[in-house]
């Protein structure tokens, strides 16, 4: 049983424009570090295209149609909002990003591999049921979670999100979805200004642990040990997804938490412990944020080492 990497070259051709933080160089750095000799046993597959039906598990048809209606011709860009930019191949990249998570769920749920990491862009956790925002077009993690439930019969699906920004989109989509658990650590009072501790969910279970700006390893690990991991174990997930954002790193320019590279490995290993005990080791991770290139690459390497049991 191995770890499977999903990616696709078209994710590099989602062009957000000069000086945009969510740029192709991010994914290039991630893929470069995973080409190292120590990752030679990492299985690799190209991400397939998500179907419209699969997208509609998480998004309204009007939203899906709108995204594709505003994809611009070659050489032009379209701004859904000041932060969220489309180029001529952004629609295809978004389909491959969602498709990566769907295929990863299939591979893990059917026992082909133990776990999987999806190195894709655009990211997804800010995309709501009816809106693109925050660099995100479709919500890759939520699409994968609903696919695990609807296509594979998983009854208790959890998404854990350690991106520095709250995954408002994931929470919005899963709020009233039975059998879903979403937990997030994030910087309080940061974009998108959601994720208060009192946001609990409807039929879905939501757990938010906002951390003050300047929080470092101790507060992050305490949030996991004292709040997230006990609640996750109580939920007894039979499938676990990780929204793996690495912008809580101290070197990242987008926010003000102070995590170290080793913290991401620690968190990953703790989540794998829960998955071993409740979910037959079934874990799919998908790349979200991380905007300092060197810190992102180093953090992803630690994350994937943990997935591979290295």
Which residues, other chains included, contact 48 with Cβ-Cβ below 8 Å and sequence gap of 6+?
96, 99, 100, 102, 103
* Length, in residues, of the chain: 310
Which residues, other chains included, contact 304 with Cβ-Cβ below 8 Å and sequence gap of 6+?
3, 5, 34, 39, 42, 117
Catalytic option among 8, 14, 59, 126: 126
Cβ atoms within 10 Å of 17's Cβ, excluding its own:
11
Q: What are the E-state strand segments in 53-147? A: 78-79, 85-86, 115-118
Hey, what are 286's tokens?
Answer: 């998908």
User: The tokens 């949030």 sit on which residue?
Assistant: 223
Would you call 126 a catalytic residue per the annotation?
yes
Rama region for 153: left / alpha / beta (φ>0; ψ in -120 to 50; rest): left
Just list the catalytic residues: 126
């Amino acid at each position: 049983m191995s770890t499977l990497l999903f990616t696709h070259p078209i994710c590099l051709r989602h062009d957000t424009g000069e000086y945009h933080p969510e740029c192709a160089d991010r994914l290039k750095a991630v893929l470069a570090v995973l080409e190292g000799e120590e990752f030679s046993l990492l299985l690799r597959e190209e991400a397939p295209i998500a179907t419209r039906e699969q997208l509609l598990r998480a998004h309204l048809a009007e939203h899906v149609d709108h995204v594709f209606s505003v994809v611009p011709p070659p050489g032009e860009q379209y701004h859904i909002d000041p932060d969220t930019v489309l180029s001529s191949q952004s629609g295809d990249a978004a389909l491959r990003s969602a498709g990566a998570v769907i295929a990863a769920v299939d591979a893990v749920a059917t026992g082909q591999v133990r776990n999987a990491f999806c190195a894709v862009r655009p990211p997804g956790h800010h995309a709501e049921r009816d809106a693109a925002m925050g660099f995100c077009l479709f919500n890759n993690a939520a699409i994968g979670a609903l696919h695990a439930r609807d296509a594979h019969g998983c009854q208790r699906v959890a998404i854990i999100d350690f991106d520095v920004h709250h995954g408002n989109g994931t929470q919005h989509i899963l709020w009233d979805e039975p059998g879903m658990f979403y937990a997030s650590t994030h910087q309080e009072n940061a974009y998108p200004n959601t994720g208060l501790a009192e946001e609990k969910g409807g039929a879905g279970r939501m757990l938010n642990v906002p951390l003050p700006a300047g929080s470092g390893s101790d507060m992050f690990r305490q949030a996991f040990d004292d709040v997230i991991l006990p609640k996750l174990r109580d939920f007894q997930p039979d499938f676990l997804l990780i929204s793996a954002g690495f912008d809580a790193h101290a070197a990242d320019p987008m926010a003000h938490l102070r995590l170290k590279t080793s913290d991401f490995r620690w968190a990953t290993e703790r989540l794998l412990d829960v998955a071993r005990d409740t979910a037959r080791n079934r874990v799919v991770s998908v790349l979200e944020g991380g905007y300092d290139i060197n810190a992102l690459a180093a953090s992803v390497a630690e994350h994937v080492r943990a997935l591979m049991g290295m």
